[in-house]
Amino acid sequence: MSWVTIDRICQEEADAKENVRRDLERTGKPLRSSADSLSDDELLTKLRGFGLDVDSAAEVAGGKRFLVGEEAVRRAHDRL
């Protein structure tokens, strides 16, 4: 199952169930959809907070924004 599918299922569960939404907030587990409202600078700060080497806003702009986010999830998962 792809990360996009897992994210979509989690988001749907959080939208439908208060306890799932609270658990996500309590644990701080981000969903890919959580980045939608972030500016490029905010997203860069978050990615760097995960220990990822992200050089510039250009890496998260436009179509690359999704790819960088997907890569961030993969790298964070690999570190666990």
User: Tens digit of pLDDT for each residue in 17-68?
Assistant: 999 989 988 987 778 777 777 887 887 787 778 777 776 655 555 545 555 5
Instruction: Please indicate, yes or no, whether residues 50 and 77 belong to a single structural domain of this protein.
Output: yes
Tell me which of 52 and 75 has the higher pLDDT: 52
One-letter amino acid identity for 38?
L
Scan for tokens 């250009």, then name that residue: 58
Number of domains in the chain: 2
State whether 53 and 79 are in the same domain: yes
- The yes-or-no verdict on residue 74 having pLDDT over 80 is no
Comparing 70 with 63, the larger pLDDT belongs to: 70
Are 43 and 73 found together in one domain?
yes
43 and 71 assigned to the same domain: yes
CB atoms under 10 Å from CB of 37, counted, come to 8
Statement to judge: residues 22 and 44 lie in one domain: no
- Residues 67, 42 within the same domain: yes
Q: 56: Cβ–Cβ under 8 A, 6 or more apart, which residues?
A: 44
**How many CB atoms sit inside 10 A of residue 21's CB?**
14
- 11-21 mean pLDDT: 92
Full domain range(s) for residue 6: 1-30
